[in-house]
Structure 1
Amino acid sequence: MIRSLQRITPQLLTLAALVALVTLFFPNFISISYDGARFVGPIVDVLKRSAPVALLAVGMTLVIATRGIDLSVGTVMAIAGAVAAYAITSGFGLPATLALALLAGLAAGLWNGCLVALIGIQPIVATLILMTAGRGIAQLITEGRILTFSNNDFAFIGSGTVYGMPFPTILWLATAILVAALMRRTALGLLIEATGINRAASALAGVNATVILIAVYMASGFCAALAGIVATADIRGADANNAGLWLELDAILAVVIGGNSLLGGRFSIAGAMIGALIIQTINTGIVLAGFPSEYNLVIKAGLVLVILVMQSPNLSADWFYLKTLISERRTARAERKEAS
Structure 2
Amino acid sequence: MIVRMVLVVLAALVTLVSGAWGAMALWYQLPGGAVVRMLGSAVWIVVVIALAAITISRRSWLPLGAYVAMYAVLLGWWVSIAPSNQRIWADDVSRPLVGKVVGNEVTLDNVRNFNWRSDTDYDARWETRHYDLDHLASADAVLSYWSSKAIAHAMISFGFDDGSHVVFSVEIRKQRGQQYSAIGGFFKQFETALVAADERDIIRVRTNVRGEDDYLYPLRMNKAAMRALFLSYVHAANTLAGTPAFYNTITSNCTTIVYRMARQIDPGLPWDIRLLMTGYLPGYLHDAGAVDQSVPVDELRRRGRVTERARNTTAGDDFSRAIRAGME
* TM-score (normalizing by structure 2): 0.25
**Which has the larger helix fraction?**
1
**Which has the larger strand fraction?**
2
Bigger radius of gyration among the two? 2
* TM-score (normalizing by structure 1): 0.24
Q: Relative contact order, CA 8 A, sep 6+: which one is greater?
A: 1
